Structure 1
Amino acid sequence: MGADSNLCVLHADVVTPSDVDLPPHSLPLTFFDVKWLRGPPVQRLFLYRLQDHHHHGNVQQLLSDLRASLSKALNLFYPLAGHVRLAPDTNRYELFYQPGDGVSFTVAEYDADVGDLASDGPVQVAMLAPLVPSLPKGRAVLALQATVLLGGRGVALGVTMHHTAGDDASSTHLLHTWAALCNGAVEMPPPPVLDHTLVADPRGLYDIYCQGMPSGGNEMEFVTSSVSSVPDDQLVATFTLPQEVLTAIKEALAGEATRHGAPPRRCSSTLAAYTFIWSCYYRAKKDQEQGHAKTTHFLFSVDHRARLKPPLPATYFGNCSIPAIAVTRHDELTAAGTGGLFAAFTAIANALEEVVSEGYPERWDGCGKRVMEAAKAGMMFVVGSPRFRVYDVDFGFGRPAKVVAVSGAMPGAMPVADARNGDGGVEVGLTFSAGGMEHFQRCFSDAMHAIGM
């Protein structure tokens, strides 16, 4: 791939926890974790602009500081320095750490300007892919890459974490802790809770989710990258929904509810963003669909830390989310005016109510099957959440100019984050071919006009 030739790896080593007295530790995987064993890793890219005073010596010090603070952060998150294996003499998977284990840390240079890469786009996904590392072989769960961009005017930090080790709440907890250690913050994030025995499994979901897994754990290998092969015409662009737009969406939905004689329902800013983008996305695809009666699906994760009985601590490290799947018809989703918005919101709100309902855990055994059925029928799926505050990950050289969920840079994915200006808006990344991107941009503009913006 052409972009790979612009990358020059300077050195690659392993960063170990700075506490040499950490004992070996086994973290048993829960049923929330094992369902991700066969999936690809989550790969995020943080792009930072450097000020003019960051000459070569300062950049080298910056990279050294990143490495040293990572070593300290791993004292708290040391299971991430280990690897997944079958526990000895069992058929249960665990995340195992032993002294000497560490995290792959690559330093590179890249012949690309930070301003071009951090543009709202469209940007070639192939230009971003070399900046996120692959996981090492051997079922490692974390790899990092710090890349100096053209002329030292920027730094790209690529973070690759296997979903088996933790969800987005967990991975961003690590990042906020690492950044606080690097920038010398007075107040540190709370430490992670690493006790997986807090997750009860009375329904035997672990065994259900492990069906079809290799019987020999050492024969299983992780998918090490989500972007090992990317078409050159695949483009990613960022669409920001400021607070005033989110308010306009909510007002349009309230108006539609009144016209339908339906009681008003609570609509958060996140649900408003989901609603608007899902409707826009399928309006852009409408000309390519064959039948107007066909249904489509929208998948988003719902954190269950506070919903388990007993609830888990907010800082629990691992996976603890359940998929919510909204479903509606194409013709309803793409209805003129704000009718499509109302159909999207109604389906999403129904899905959320279902997944947090008292009796829904009885259906958790079928989650995987329902996701596969939705994917086969056609779905859009959310990556990330505004609540993870990715634009607050400041290592001491400023807030990110751009954060890209590179593993979510694929058709049908909807990466979401807090808006970088901190105004309470929502930032959405979408991926299309060049022609598809132009069509979506027109539909996005039309939808903005429909809500009076």
Structure 2
Amino acid sequence: MALPQLRVLHTALLTPSPASPALPPRSLPLTFFDVKWLHLPPVERLFLYRLAPDADVPAILSALKDSLSRALGAFYPLAGHVRLTPGTTHNRYDLFYQPGDAVPFTAAEYDVDIDDLASDDPVKVAKIASLVPDLPKGRAVLAVQATLLLPGHRGLALGVTVHHSACDGTSSTHFLHTWAAACAGAEPPPPPPVIDRALIPDPGGLYDIYMKSLPPMISNGDEFEFASKKPVVDDKLLATFTLPQQLLESIKGAVAREASRRCLPPPRCSSLLATYSFIWSCYCRAREPTPRGEKRKSYFLFSVDQRARLRPAVPEKYLGNCLCPAIAIAAEDEVAAAGAGGLFAACAAAAAAVEDEVGEGAQGRWDGSVARVKEAVANGTLSVAGSPRFRVYDVDFGFGRPVKVDIVSVANTGAISVTEGRGGSGGMEVGISMPADAMDRFRRCFADAIASLSPLRAP
């Protein structure tokens, strides 16, 4: 069956408001936290909204554009682009804004009913890939697309593409909440971003250490464009798996009981670590089995926000990257074990990875973090995009909360996405992209893992 065709209605280039001369040219040097992302593809978020039958669609599109321009007045670096810093060594990059820089806002139509996209069931990635925009040439860092879903304009798909070298998820979702508040007229508005890269000291020369590990096209200072979307594999699917709060409590209990059975202290097991442990265990169980006699390590990579841990601490609203990778490593057969055994192995490894990044002496090991990530990637790591702290289901532009939020780019990166559960009842949502046969195996493992915990749940 042929895929529906996207029809572009128009594209507007939106400059920050207030316009120049209030906003002079400005160069923000990339820090060692930023430069690690230069060679990676952008993050593509897709927000799905249901519109009222009598919604004034032209007024909604106009309000989205006007409020985006106003939000960019505070987040003006996102209207700029990454460049080689003039007059410096060949491997120094900055995020540069000058008056006249703009963000493309594309309005489009798509012949897909919102109910076909808002379900948690697997959907073809090819069916939603066109709902998130490409970044313009020239290493621009932000693009936006608003797509009306037919028939009847009952839905709106808002695609937001941000390059990670400009900022992390904390910053990009701060921008999204600011844009939504401006559109909805919410008072008071979110606090403005803190735009000061001098807040990130680099006494150990981490920028140069990280730069040397990047691909030659970047580390040698050659001209390059940000990685674009990969061709979508025909059978690649994206599905959402919900872990209700009750299930997360069952996971925590199972891990604690298994630790007691082994006469070991229980590992740290927050709701987020419980989510990681459950999904990692299911993922390992759903993989093709290892050849007999072969031992395989499994890697699970997630980010730790360092804003509050630097000395002095970096403000929460700092605009930029402030993440370090935590890498959990365990024997795959142990993580894949059914029941509490697999959950314990996964949780213990994830908790140890957190401690490695927040414990004593963690910052002294940052010089080796890129090498550790490379080792994990070379061995097939499962990584995480997103966080429940970002409150993406609170991004309300005045026409209601999103009915579904996806990170479409996980289909390119092989990561899983993690958000807070919908409806305010706690829990977590995890987005996973896989070919159809692998998705079938994962869904069975997910259901079996839930069933195995059911007898252990508190009445």
Structure 1 pair 125/336, CA: closer, same or farther in 2 (3 Å)? same
2:70 equivalent in structure 1: 72
Does structure 1 residue 128 correspond to structure 2 residue 132?
A: no
Letter in 2 for 1:75: G
Corresponding residue SS for 1:6: coil
Structure 1 pair 257/215, CA: closer, same or farther in 2 (3 Å)? closer
Structure 1 pair 289/383, CA: closer, same or farther in 2 (3 Å)? farther
Match of 1:287 among 286, 289, 301: 289
Give, in whole Å, the separation in 1 of the partners of 2:276 and 2:374.
21
Corresponding residue SS for 1:38: coil
User: How far off is 1:183 after superposition?
Assistant: 0.4
Give, in whole Å, the separation in 2 of the partners of 1:149 and 1:290.
50
Overall identity of the aligned pairs, in %? 60
Give, in whole Å, the separation in 1 of the partners of 2:5 and 2:249.
43
Does structure 1 residue 193 correspond to structure 2 residue 186?
A: no
User: How far off is 1:409 after superposition?
Assistant: 2.5
Corresponding residue SS for 1:152: coil
1:156 equivalent in structure 2: 157
Match of 1:276 among 241, 254, 278: 278
Corresponding residue SS for 1:39: coil
Corresponding residue SS for 2:424: coil
User: How far off is 1:411 after superposition?
Assistant: 7.6
1:300 equivalent in structure 2: 302
2:5 equivalent in structure 1: 6
Structure 1 pair 332/214, CA: closer, same or farther in 2 (3 Å)? closer
Corresponding residue SS for 2:409: helix
Give, in whole Å, the separation in 2 of the partners of 1:64 and 1:367.
45
Does structure 1 residue 449 correspond to structure 2 residue 447?
A: no
Match of 2:79 among 55, 78, 81: 81
Cα deviation code 1:249-277 (max 9, x no counterpart): 11111110110101123311100000000
User: How far off is 1:393 after superposition?
Assistant: 0.4
1:296-445 aligned within 5 A: 296-410=298-412, 412-445=414-447
User: How far off is 1:410 after superposition?
Assistant: 4.9
TM-score (norm 2): 0.94
Structure 1 pair 441/195, CA: closer, same or farther in 2 (3 Å)? same
User: How far off is 1:13 after superposition?
Assistant: 2.0
Cα deviation code 1:141-192 (max 9, x no counterpart): 0000000011201000000000000001011000000000000101211110
Gaps of 5+ in 2: none
Corresponding residue SS for 2:289: helix
Structure 1 pair 272/322, CA: closer, same or farther in 2 (3 Å)? same
Deviating above 6 A after TM superposition, structure 1's stretches of 4 or more consecutive aligned residues are: none
User: How far off is 1:218 after superposition?
Assistant: 6.6
Does structure 1 residue 220 correspond to structure 2 residue 219?
A: no
Letter in 1 for 2:211: C
TM-score (norm 1): 0.96
Contact kept, 8 Å, 1:292 with 1:331, in 2: the verdict is: no
Structure 1 pair 38/400, CA: closer, same or farther in 2 (3 Å)? same
Q: Count residues with an aligned counterpart.
A: 447
Give, in whole Å, the separation in 2 of the partners of 1:401 and 1:81.
28
Corresponding residue SS for 1:27: strand
Letter in 2 for 1:7: L
1:15 equivalent in structure 2: 14
Does structure 1 residue 28 correspond to structure 2 residue 16?
A: no
Contact kept, 8 Å, 2:267 with 2:347, in 1: the verdict is: no
Give, in whole Å, the separation in 1 of the partners of 2:344 and 2:253.
11
Contact kept, 8 Å, 2:141 with 2:163, in 1: the verdict is: yes
Contact kept, 8 Å, 2:120 with 2:240, in 1: the verdict is: yes
User: How far off is 1:421 after superposition?
Assistant: 1.5
Corresponding residue SS for 1:106: strand
Give, in whole Å, the separation in 2 of the partners of 1:317 and 1:411.
24
Give, in whole Å, the separation in 2 of the partners of 1:86 and 1:222.
13
1:43 equivalent in structure 2: 44
More displaced stretch, 389-398 vs 18-27: 18-27
User: How far off is 1:365 after superposition?
Assistant: 1.4
Contact kept, 8 Å, 2:335 with 2:346, in 1: the verdict is: yes
Letter in 1 for 2:402: P
Gaps of 5+ in 1: none
User: How far off is 1:290 after superposition?
Assistant: 5.8
Cα deviation code 1:342-398 (max 9, x no counterpart): 000010011111111121212211111111111111211111111101000000111
Letter in 1 for 2:238: V
Give, in whole Å, the separation in 2 of the partners of 1:174 and 1:446.
39
Letter in 2 for 1:178: W
Letter in 1 for 2:135: L
